[in-house]
């Protein structure tokens, strides 16, 4: 049964992708997407009952290593062809370098026939599989009506949906393979396959700007591929194995071994779009919104943080680990500051993603059991809430033809349900009792011994509240006294939005039990392998309250308070609707029949407007980007040099 579940999670998406590409009827596409989504979600949940597990080199009697090797070379030749065709020196150089390194590894160095488990599942990989398979499937399902509207707006002569959905589903299979595989070269294949998927999705509309940004994403992630393959080669020469679990257990914390660890983290930084590599993820915003949602929540960028978090025990307790934490904390702070200066909704979400991924990487660098617990919470809650917000923005954009949050002012009057979902989604990112704040609290607590990191995390968290609260306020403004009717939406648009919102609430409510049943076993396993990782003060979850010697996060009691407050707010709102609406005083001679205007010079009616102040002179991209990128480069050099 375990082999069957792994086949569904890793191999079946490749088969579904072929079906989506070749069977182009809309009804068949919808059927394949829905069946694939249900199977992936069900298989990911069923897999929890088998963890921890290790599967022999074959799967269902099939030996995949030779096939993966062939596909790996084909993938790199494809990158090389793209670089030559586009006359792009960086893509050509990086692809050629990887081809040479891979050929040396496969032909001269690796001793094939050494058997190690093909797939390994622990709490971290189970969590990642659930995020990819459930959140990713919801995004793909939401894309069905979205892409129909998208192409109608573009007036295409021939639909590109077959290839679009084929790549989306392929992406999910690649990510599941990446987080489950135990063979380092297989990991590299899936790592680079996600690079190809992102390139194809970003360039989907085939506009000049889409092609330019897809090319940037390709060369930056190919740089990460070079760093990853160099690290694999170095580690194999040092330890003589491609077994990832064995590498982590046997890693010698010597200066020479920390150099490949630095290369692994560099690969993770490029994939996770950490400063100074954030431009490829920002450029990906030109793609259809389901692409952005998938890249930001459950696939591409999560591959980067997974890589760093997976190998964090190998450099636990070193100066290098502290340098990783500082680099991540700096990105958390700097990307949050850049988000303040944005009015483009998708850019705010993009910088927010880069920022929160920096927080997860900071947890990996802090490298204590408490920090790992915080990172796992953040991965889960960020995926759900960020996917929800991207899908909300995509739905809104198709209605109002704008991504500018100022154009979303008064959205409640025309899209009340979507506005409420978006507001609640925003609040799950910043307020108790929701999981994102719990994760941030745990992260700050785990960094208590490093004042620099604590300050950066605390200030970054305050900045996060600023831009999310500003946006939530815009959603809920609407003209006084007007009758509000719920907007009409496609079933496959509304259900994913409501499903993700429900997931954010339920998972946050269940956080104490998720900690006990999923995260704590992972921490205990870590402590048994790495003695210095002993979890001195695990949380007590009695009564739905996360508590230890350092603090308390009363999850369930806070939920009960929020439910009571919500009911009180609804009752107050209903009473207010019965009262006569009175407009605001507008500092002039009010016009009796129009409470939105006053008489100005020459008795003209003046309608005042409200807008946010974005502090662009302080937080604008032109002001900050050069400085923070320069600082990030210095921190990365410090990180890699820390191994020496």
The C-alpha angle with vertex 61 and arms to 58 and 67, in degrees rounded to 5, equals 60
Sign (positive or negative) of CA dihedral 14, 18, 24, 27: negative
Q: Which of 113-122, 163-172, 367-376 has the highest mean pLDDT?
A: 163-172
Return the higher-pLDDT residue of 118 and 213: 213
Q: Taking a C-beta distance cutoff of 8 angstroms, is the pair 260, 231 a contact?
A: yes
Could you give the CA distance from residue 195 to residue 222 in angstroms, rounded to a whole number?
8
What are 378's two structure tokens? 């953040």
Q: Copy the structure tokens of residue 364.
A: 């990996």
Strand bridging mode 58-59 / 62-63: antiparallel
The reported pTM is: 0.94
Q: For the residues 280-297, what does the mean pLDDT come to?
A: 91
143 CB-near residues (< 8 Å, 6+ apart):
164, 165, 168, 288, 290
In the structure encoding, which two tokens stand for residue 299, read together? 């696939």
d(CA 285, CA 346): 6
For 88-112, what is the mean pLDDT? 93
Residue 72 has pLDDT above 90, yes or no: yes
CA distance 300 to 268: 10
Q: Would you tell me how many other CB atoms lie within 10 Å of the CB of residue 42?
A: 15
Segments making up each domain of the chain, as ranges: 317-490+608-644
Please list, residue by residue across 125-141, b when 16 or more beta carbons sit within 10 angstroms of its beta carbon and e when fewer do: bbbbbbbbbbbbbbbbb
Note the pLDDT of residue 273: 93
Give the model's pLDDT for residue 505: 95
**Is 532 a residue whose pLDDT tops 70?**
no
As a whole number of angstroms, the distance between CA 261 and CA 251 comes to 10
3-state DSSP call for residue 429?
Answer: coil
Please give the distance of CA 556 from its chain centroid, rounded to a whole number: 26
Q: What is the three-class DSSP state of 550? A: coil
- The answer, yes or no, to whether residue 371 has pLDDT greater than 80, is yes
- For residue 485, the SS3 value is coil
Band the pLDDT of 275: cuts 50, 70, 90. very high
Average pLDDT on 154-181 reads 93
Q: Could you tell me the pLDDT band of residue 61, with boundaries at 50, 70 and 90?
A: low
Confidence of residue 57 (pLDDT cuts 50, 70, 90): low
Q: With CA atoms as reference, report the closest residue to 328 among 198, 197, 446.
A: 446
63 SS3 class: strand
Long-range CB pairs of 1-7 (<8 Å, 24+ gap) are 1/50, 2/47, 2/50, 2/53, 2/55, 3/55, 3/59, 3/60, 4/60, 5/43, 5/46, 5/47, 5/50, 6/47, 6/55, 6/59, 6/119, 6/180, 7/59, 7/60
Q: Mind listing the pLDDT tens digit for each residue in 301-355?
A: 899 999 999 999 999 888 999 999 999 999 999 999 999 999 999 999 999 999 9
State the Cα–Cα distance between residues 511 and 440, nearest whole angstrom: 14
> What would the mean pLDDT of 630-640 be, rounded to a whole number?
90
Contacts 24+ apart (CB under 8 A), 211-217: 212/283, 213/280, 213/283, 213/284, 213/286, 213/287, 214/283, 215/86, 215/88, 215/91, 216/279, 216/280, 216/283, 217/280, 217/281, 217/283, 217/284
The per-residue pLDDT for 51 is: 82
Res 221: pLDDT = 96
Residue 530's pLDDT band, with cuts at 50, 70 and 90, is low
Q: Are 539 and 548 in contact (CB under 8 A)?
A: yes
Q: Is the model's pLDDT at 68 over the cut of 60?
A: yes
Is the Cα torsion angle 517, 519, 524, 528 positive or negative in sign?
Answer: positive
Quick one: pLDDT at residue 80? 97
548: β partners: 551
The DSSP result for 94-111, as a single string, is: HHHHHHHHHHHIIIII--
Mean per-residue pLDDT, 266-289: 94
Tokens at residue 23, please?
Answer: 């069977």
* Dist CA 538 CA 515 (whole Å): 10
Percent of the chain with pLDDT over 90: 63
- 58 DSSP β-pair partners: 63
Distance separating alpha carbons of residues 357 and 273, to the nearest angstrom: 8
Q: Determine the pLDDT at residue 239.
A: 92
pLDDT class of 136 with cuts at 50, 70, 90: very high
**What token pair was written down for 572?**
């107050």
Q: What is the mean pLDDT of the chain?
A: 89
Rounded-to-integer distance, Cα 199 and Cα 219, Å: 10
Whether residue 52 has a cis bond before it, omega within 30° of 0: yes
> pLDDT (tens digit, 9 = 90+) per residue, 440-498?
999 998 898 889 999 999 999 999 999 999 998 888 776 655 677 888 999 999 999 99
Of these ranges, 149-163, 388-402, 480-494, 548-562, the one predicted with the greatest mean pLDDT is: 388-402
Please give the Cα distance from 296 to 382 (Å, whole number): 9
Q: Which strand ranges, in their side-by-side order, compose the sheet holding 589-591?
A: 589-591, 594-599, 605-606
User: Quick one: pLDDT band at residue 627, thresholds 50, 70, 90?
Assistant: very high
Q: Give the span between the Cα atoms of 598 and 604, in whole angstroms.
A: 8
Taking the C-alpha atoms of residue 145 and residue 458, their distance in angstroms, rounded to an integer, is 40
Between 422 and 63, name the one with better pLDDT: 422
Residue 642 is predicted with a pLDDT of: 61
DSSP string, 583-608: PPP-SSEEETTEEEEEE-GGG-EE--
Q: What confidence score (pLDDT) does residue 97 get?
A: 97
How far is Cα 532 from Cα 522, in angstroms, rounded to an integer? Answer: 15
Pick from 443, 464, 442: which is nearest to 453 by CA?
A: 443
Q: Is the pLDDT of residue 110 over 60?
A: yes
Residues 232-242 pLDDT 10s:
999 999 998 99
pLDDT at position 566, please? Answer: 84
- The angle formed by the CA atoms of residues 497, 274 and 214, to the nearest 5 degrees, is 70
What is the per-residue pLDDT across 28-45, written as a single tens digit (0 to 9) for each? 999 999 999 999 999 999
What span, in angstroms and rounded, lies between the C-alpha atoms of 46 and 543? 27
| Average pLDDT score over residue span 538-562 | 85
Residue 138 has pLDDT above 60, yes or no: yes
């Amino acid at each position: 049964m375990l082999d069957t579940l792994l086949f569904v999670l890793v191999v079946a998406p490749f088969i579904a992708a072929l079906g989506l590409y070749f069977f182009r009827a809309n009804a068949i596409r919808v059927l394949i997407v829905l069946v694939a989504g249900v199977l992936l979600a069900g298989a990911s949940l069923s897999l929890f009952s088998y963890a921890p597990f290790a599967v022999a080199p074959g799967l269902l009697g099939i030996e995949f290593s030779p096939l993966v090797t062939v596909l790996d070379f084909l993938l790199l030749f494809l990158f090389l062809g793209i670089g030559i065709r586009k006359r792009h020196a960086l893509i050509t150089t990086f692809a050629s370098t990887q081809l040479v390194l891979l050929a040396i590894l496969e032909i001269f160095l690796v001793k094939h026939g050494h058997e190690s488990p093909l797939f390994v599942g622990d709490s971290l990989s189970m969590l990642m599989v659930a995020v990819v398979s459930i959140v990713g499937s919801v995004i793909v399902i939401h894309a069905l009506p979205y892409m129909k509207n998208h192409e109608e707006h573009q007036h295409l002569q021939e639909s590109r949906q077959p290839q679009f959905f084929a790549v989306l589903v392929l992406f999910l299979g690649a990510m599941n393979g990446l987080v489950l595989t135990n063979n380092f070269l297989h990991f590299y294949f899936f790592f680079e396959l996600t690079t190809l998927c992102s390139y194809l999705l970003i360039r989907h509309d085939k506009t000049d700007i889409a092609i330019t940004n897809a090319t940037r994403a390709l060369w930056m992630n190919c740089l990460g591929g070079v760093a990853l393959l160099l690290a694999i080669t170095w580690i194999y020469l040092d330890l003589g194995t491609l077994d990832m679990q064995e590498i982590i257990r046997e890693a010698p914390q010597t200066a020479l071994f920390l150099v490949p660890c630095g290369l692994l983290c560099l690969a993770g930084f490029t994939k996770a779009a950490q400063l100074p590599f954030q431009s490829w993820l920002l450029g990906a915003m030109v793609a259809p919104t389901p692409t952005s949602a998938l890249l930001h929540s459950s696939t591409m960028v999560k591959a980067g943080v997974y890589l760093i978090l997976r190998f964090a025990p190998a450099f636990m307790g070193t100066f290098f680990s502290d340098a990783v934490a500082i680099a991540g904390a700096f990105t958390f702070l700097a990307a949050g500051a850049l988000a303040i200066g944005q009015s483009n909704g998708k850019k705010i979400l993009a910088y927010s993603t880069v920022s929160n991924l920096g927080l997860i990487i900071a947890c990996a660098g802090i490298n204590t059991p408490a920090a790992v617990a915080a990172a796992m919470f953040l991965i889960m809650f960020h995926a759900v809430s960020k996917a929800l917000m991207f899908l909300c923005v995509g739905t809104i954009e198709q209605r109002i033809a704008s991504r500018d949050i100022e154009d979303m002012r008064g959205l409640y009057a025309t899209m009340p349900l979507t506005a409420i979902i978006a507001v609640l989604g925003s609040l799950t990112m910043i307020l108790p009792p929701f999981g994102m704040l719990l994760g941030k609290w745990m992260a700050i607590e785990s960094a208590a011994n490093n004042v620099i990191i604590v300050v950066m995390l605390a200030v970054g968290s305050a900045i996060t509240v600023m831009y999310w609260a500003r946006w939530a306020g815009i959603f809920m403004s609407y003209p006084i006294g007007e009758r509000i009717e719920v907007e009409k939406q496609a079933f496959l648009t509304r259900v994913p939005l409501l499903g993700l919102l429900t997931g954010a609430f339920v998972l946050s409510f269940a956080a104490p039990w998720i900690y006990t049943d999923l995260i704590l076993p992972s921490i205990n396993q870590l402590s048994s392998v790495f003695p210095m990782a002993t979890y001195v003060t695990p949380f007590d979850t009695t009564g739905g309250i996360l508590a230890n010697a350092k603090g308390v996060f009363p999850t369930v009691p806070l939920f009960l308070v929020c439910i009571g407050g919500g009911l009180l707010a609804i009752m107050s709102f209903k009473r207010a609707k019965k009262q006569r609406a009175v407009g605001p005083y507008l500092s002039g001679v009010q016009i009796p029949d129009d409470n939105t205007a006053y008489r100005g010079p020459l008795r003209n009616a003046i309608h005042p407007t409200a807008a946010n102040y974005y502090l662009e002179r302080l937080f604008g991209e032109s002001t900050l980007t050069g400085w923070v990128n320069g600082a990030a480069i210095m921190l990365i050099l410090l990180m890699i040099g820390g191994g020496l």
